[in-house]
Amino acid sequence: MKIQKSFSGQEQHTVYVVPTPIGNLEDITFRALKTLKDVSVIAAEDTRNTKKLLHYFDIKTPLVSYHEHNKESRGKQLMNRLDNGESIAVVSDAGMPGISDPGFELVQQAIETDYPVVVLPGANAALCALVGSGLSADEFLFYGFLPRKKKEKEAELERLKRLNGTLLLYESPYRIKDTLKMVHAHLGNRQISIARELTKKYEEYIRGHVAELIDWADKTELKGEFCLVIEGTSNESAPKNKLWWSSFSIVEHVTHYMRQADLSSKEAIKLVAADRQMSKRDVYQAYHIDQKE
């Protein structure tokens, strides 16, 4: 068991996790600015991006890079600096470090070495999107980015669809259309909100059902990073005791997956079998053979 007294008057050997604005620079806190000025060094996901922030607020603290590709070697160097009594601030390009951004490993190393880790409150895109969605925030799961590979993404959506809480996902403009179609195929036509360009001049919320947002995405030039907020299975507005595919025949059910998620019949049959708790052979029979008789 470890007990940390964060504010015992000892500021050396400390890792400060400092959120940075996700768009509007005025969202940074006075405490964050003071911390960035007072620490020995700032470990940044992208030093070029962080330099702009520091220049805006006239902060001269030295910068080093700390990202996915150098976290092991740089982490050792940063731990050596902590050993020598220095203090470190960790920042990502935007938002809270460690949340779909670098930071976790350094925090873990500091804790294991009994160095204090002080986390400052601040900007976070997922929570802004959740509160602004109008969907329940009583219970929610932040997932971050879904896997890029189709099979892995399908498997995760199949797992997530059974959860009661509201789901929070991040997505890029290059994959948002395909992700919406796969959400529709695996989770059904649930209520959903998309938040984009949060806190910036072009901030936008798009709220509706998944099918409506698929249509919106097909007609819209998609820019910026997106946060998807999707209702869970226990939401009061969801139909009670009724599966989304219950009105479909087996053939319609298979066809739905093929069209909405761009799956082969073999892949769709596998999902239908899982939905209906049937054998793949029986679903294959109904789709390929019985409908032709």
Residue-wise pLDDT for 68-110, tens only, equals 899 899 999 999 999 999 999 999 999 999 998 889 999 999 9
Q: Could you tell me which residue, 258 or 108, shows the higher pLDDT?
A: 108
As a whole number of angstroms, the distance between CA 241 and CA 244 comes to 10
The per-residue pLDDT for 100 is 85
Q: Could you tell me which residue, 288 or 166, shows the higher pLDDT?
A: 166
Whole-angstrom CA distances from 76 to 71, 79, 163 are 8, 5, 39
Residue 39 above 60 pLDDT? Answer: yes
Put residue 224 in one of left, alpha, beta given phi > 0 → left and psi -120 to 50 → alpha: left
As a whole number of angstroms, the distance between CA 38 and CA 15 comes to 12
Lowest mean pLDDT of 115-129, 190-204, 233-247, name the range: 233-247
- Which of 45, 123, 33, 22 shows the shortest CA–CA distance to 91? 45
Alpha-carbon 191 to chain mean position: 18
The per-residue pLDDT for 36 is 98
The per-residue pLDDT for 238 is 45
The per-residue pLDDT for 242 is 60
Decide: 146 and 179 in contact? Cβ < 8 Å. yes
Report all structural domains of the chain as residue ranges with CATH numbers, in order of start. 15-119 (3.40.1010.10), 125-230 (3.30.950.10), 250-292 (no CATH)
Which class for 256: exposed (0-12), middle (13-18), buried (19 or more C-beta within 10 A)? buried
- Read off the amino acid at residue 52: K
Residue 195 above 80 pLDDT? Answer: yes
The per-residue pLDDT for 283 is 87
As a whole number of angstroms, the distance between CA 47 and CA 26 comes to 20
pLDDT 10s digits, 146-180: 999 988 999 899 899 889 999 999 999 999 999 99
Largest CA distance in the chain: 81
Q: Is the pTM of this model over 0.95?
A: no
Residue 273 above 70 pLDDT? Answer: yes
- Which of 108, 178, 115, 117 shows the shortest CA–CA distance to 150? 178
| Range from 30-34, 66-70, 162-166, 220-224 that averages highest in pLDDT | 30-34
Q: How confident is the model at residue 245 (pLDDT cuts 50, 70, 90)?
A: confident
Percent of residues, the chain, with pLDDT higher than 90: 64
Decide: 98 and 20 in contact? Cβ < 8 Å. no
- Which of 140, 243, 148 shows the shortest CA–CA distance to 190? 243
Q: Which two tokens stand for residue 180?
A: 């919406």
Put residue 73 in one of left, alpha, beta given phi > 0 → left and psi -120 to 50 → alpha: alpha
Mean pLDDT of the chain: 90
